[in-house]
Amino acid sequence: MTSQVRGVQLARLLGQWHALPGRRRSPDYVALAAAVRGLLADGRLPLAVRLPAERELAEALRISRTTVTAAYRELRESGHLASRRGAGSWTMLPGTHRVASTGLWTPLDDRDMIDLGVAALSAPPQLVPAARAAAEDLPRYLGGAGYHPTGIIELREAVAQGYTERGLPTSPEQIMVTSGTQHALDLVLRLALSPGGPVLVESPTYPNALAALAARRARITTHGLSDTGWDADLLLGSLRQTRPKLAYVIPEFHNPTGHLMAADLRERLVGTAHAAGTDLVVDESFVDLPLDGTPLPPPVAVFDRHSRVISIGGMSKPYWGGLRIGWVRASAPQVQRLAAARVGVDMASPVLDQLVAVHLLAQAPTIVAARRTQLAAQRDALVDALTERLPDWRVTVPRGGVTLWAELDGPISSALARAAEEVGVRLAPGPRFGLDGTLERFLRLPFTLPAAELVEAVGRLAAVRYDLDRAGRPQWREPSVIA
Ligand SMILES: Cc1ncc(COP(=O)(O)O)c(C=O)c1O
């Protein structure tokens, strides 16, 4: 199925394409084609989307049609666009590229790339022993058909116990095991949101959550986080005013900013959501990863008395993304409804992988403690390198999670991502975490790679940042106030 992007939508996504730093006096059509390629490479413009007709885009961008015609020709030649007379032009993946993790595009041969587009750790040493132990356990399940739509009981018990230990009494009937947190989100959206329904999300937010919402054609409003996190009055005020069907929040070490929501706002958020008729989907992906001994507030669902809160989480961040184990915590009837929706999608999660998860969760204190130590050291190395090499960037040191959100010294995030690719660093630029081409002043930097690679990456970024300056910085100076 091909969907279509309209001229005004594409113009919004393209933002300041004509004045991107580092443009080096190339003709307009080359700059336009490069900007479209940038949107494709970082996933803001999906594959197999029909682009607007040349005339429509030219009008939306207020440029000549010949410029758009030449840019589309350039994109066809580089393998990013296919066109058929009378049918239009749609986006495609060039044969020289593949779609990497998190949706960013990458050349087929990218072995030397330092990938800062991914915010996830490699597997812990306990994984292989856990997999062996799981294989030993498997015969206990082989007598049955192996389909467990809500998950195997051992894993549901272990996950429920984790919630209970965090101060939220939970029974295994309230847990449904999924194939990752992203799968959990998709299932919850299928259940809780009719197509086109209104949703509130944070800005910035997790890009793949935006993708899941786009698949439901959600009507999205945003709550902008500041450098100190959520603004309680604004957040609760917009819930009261817009009364969305659903709100999606990441209260623990928010991706990408790293903020932690305070206990009193959690309580007020649940109360206000209930009064507004809004269901809260709470993504707890990073809850196991407080750093520096930061104390955790109670889970959001502690304040829920009306089954308004659906919590989702998983193994990817503290353990390993390749396990593909996540879960939903909701009321028992909601879990049954989710299971009914799930059988139309993938029936159940693999039994063997769930057994691996059980063995890893049994060693949670040891594994998670080592992850926290590792992440704190890598975060500190990244922050030190940024302070030394890019002192004009503003960085709030996160007290947990795996990412920091740097405020750059200009609206250069997309231009920097493109230049960084040339020197072997993959970045997810700020606009990827929002809607409509905003957030160009920001960049997400994960600290999930070894410290030496992070320091090397910052060195390369500092070099290309300097090049951008030489090529086009004056265009970005903010106009001085004329009073
Ligand atoms: C906030 C958030 N939610 C969900 C996910 C997806 O997690 P999973 O690998 O468990 O599907 C991620 C991964 O980066 C994330 O950061």
What is the per-residue pLDDT across 308-352, written as a single tens digit (0 to 9) for each?
A: 999 999 999 999 999 999 999 999 999 999 999 998 889 999 999
Give the pLDDT confidence score for residue 474 in this predicted structure.
Answer: 40
How sure is the predictor about 473, in pLDDT bands with cuts at 50, 70 and 90?
Answer: very low
Helix (H, G, I), strand (E, B) or coil at 355: helix
Residue 313 Cα to ligand 1 midpoint, Å, equals: 8
Percent of the chain whose pLDDT exceeds 90: 78
pLDDT in tens, 128-139: 999 999 999 999
How sure is the predictor about 478, in pLDDT bands with cuts at 50, 70 and 90?
Answer: very low
How many whole angstroms separate alpha carbon 252 and alpha carbon 256? 11
Residue 24 Cα to ligand 1 midpoint, Å, equals: 38
How many whole angstroms separate alpha carbon 450 and alpha carbon 277? 45
How sure is the predictor about 99, in pLDDT bands with cuts at 50, 70 and 90?
Answer: confident
Atom of ligand 1 nearest to the CA of 250: 1
In this prediction, residues 167-176 reach a mean pLDDT of 98
Look over the chain and give the mean of its residue pLDDT values, rounded to a whole number.
92
For 5-26, letters b (16+ CB in 10 Å) and e give bebeebbebbbebbebbbbeee
Residue 111 Cα to ligand 1 midpoint, Å, equals: 24
Give the pLDDT confidence score for residue 24 in this predicted structure.
Answer: 65
In this prediction, residues 226-240 reach a mean pLDDT of 96
278 lines ligand 1 (CB under 6 A): no
250 lines ligand 1 (CB under 6 A): yes
For 149-184, letters b (16+ CB in 10 Å) and e give bbbbebbbbbbbebbeebebebebebbbbbbbbbbb
Q: Would you give the end-to-end CA distance of the chain in angstroms?
A: 54
Give the pLDDT confidence score for residue 280 in this predicted structure.
Answer: 98
How sure is the predictor about 52, in pLDDT bands with cuts at 50, 70 and 90?
Answer: very high
For residue 101, pLDDT over 90 is answered with no
Contact 220, 435 (CB under 8 A): yes
Atom of ligand 1 nearest to the CA of 120: 14
For residue 482, pLDDT over 90 is answered with no
285 lines ligand 1 (CB under 6 A): yes
180 lines ligand 1 (CB under 6 A): yes
Atom of ligand 1 nearest to the CA of 206: 1
- Token duo for residue 415: 């231009």
Residue 467 Cα to ligand 1 midpoint, Å, equals: 34
403 lines ligand 1 (CB under 6 A): no
For residue 472, pLDDT over 70 is answered with no
Contact 4, 46 (CB under 8 A): no
Residue 285 Cα to ligand 1 midpoint, Å, equals: 6
Give the pLDDT confidence score for residue 470 in this predicted structure.
Answer: 67
Residue 74 Cα to ligand 1 midpoint, Å, equals: 35
How many whole angstroms separate alpha carbon 390 and alpha carbon 405? 14
pLDDT in tens, 260-288: 999 999 999 999 999 999 999 999 999 99
Please state whether the predicted TM-score (pTM) of the whole model is above 0.95.
no
Give the pLDDT confidence score for residue 471 in this predicted structure.
Answer: 59
Give the pLDDT confidence score for residue 42 in this predicted structure.
Answer: 77
314 lines ligand 1 (CB under 6 A): yes
